[in-house]
Amino acid sequence: MVEGGAKEKEGWFIYSFVARGTMVLAEYTEFTGNFPAIAAQCLHKLPSSNNKFAYSCDHHTFNFLVHDGYAYCIVAKESVPKHVSTAFLERLKADFKGRYGGGKADTATAKSLNKEFGPVIKDHMKYIVEHANEIEKLLKVKAQVSEVKSIMLENIEKAVDRGEKLTDLQDKTMDLRSQAQDFRKQGTRVRRRMWYQNMKIKLVVLGVLLFLVLVIWLSVCHGFNCTKQQDQRNQNPPQH
């Protein structure tokens, strides 16, 4: 929570300006001191890239927001929360761009917008100071929304990852099923081959047995005359 009474908050913001490049177009302050000179020195050292920058000097912070060639500055007491100064700069930028973007600001000379935009800077200072607590609450809500969004994105990524793993599992299952079918086919071919081999062995054994029977038959009957000799014995029985 932003702490401090109304009187203390009134002195939060010391000096502010809007510049095109290094040329200050409009500024406002209720205080005397060397703040404008120090801020101008910082302005000349700022990178040209769009970003936020902050410098500390003599218990004050010089906060800058650089965007599309324009620099927005607020000098605040060191005790002022950073998010409050940032909220002021964002509000100042939005208003200035809405009023002068792509028009008068591109050709304005140094401090030529003081008369019409200086009071606007003052109003923005007052508004941010008076609504500091609401701004902090809003930032907390935005942070919570961002956190929830990050969690949701993480869950979606995990779900997608699980989906990919399920797809891999399905592919592996299909591969196993295909391998099982191939195994069954190979088993059938092996069984057939063994059956043929067994049949061959049985036929060979049967052939050998038949051959042995034939050999025994021939050796006993001295050829194929066993039947004839038996018939002759039947026709000529022995006489007593």
pLDDT band at 210 (very low <50, low <70, confident <90, very high): confident
Strands (E), the chain: 13-20, 23-29, 51-57, 60-67, 70-77
235 or 17, greater pLDDT = 17
Single-letter residue type at 147: E
Q: What is the mean pLDDT of residues 34-52?
A: 92
Q: Is the pTM of this model over 0.75?
A: no
Q: Is the pLDDT of residue 4 over 70?
A: no
54 or 190, greater pLDDT = 54
For the chain, give the percent of residues with pLDDT over 70: 83
Q: What is the mean pLDDT of residues 31-52?
A: 92
Q: Are 49 and 3 in contact (CB under 8 A)?
A: no
pLDDT in tens, 115-158: 999 999 999 999 999 988 888 777 677 767 767 777 877 777 77
Cβ–Cβ contacts within 10 Å for residue 43, how many? 19
Question: Under DSSP, is residue 76 helix (H, G, I), strand (E, B) or coil?
Answer: strand
Whose CA is closest to 27, among 75, 69, 59? 75
Tell me the CA distances in angstroms from 208 to 194, 214, 216, 223, 227, one per residue in order.
21, 10, 12, 19, 24
Residue 199 is predicted with a pLDDT of 83
Here the tokens at position 95 are 């208003």
Ranges 76-85, 126-135, 168-177, most confident? 76-85
Q: Are 74 and 81 in contact (CB under 8 A)?
A: no
Biggest alpha carbon–alpha carbon distance for the chain: 173
Q: Is the pLDDT of residue 14 over 80?
A: yes
Residue 109 is predicted with a pLDDT of 95
CA distance 103 to 99: 9
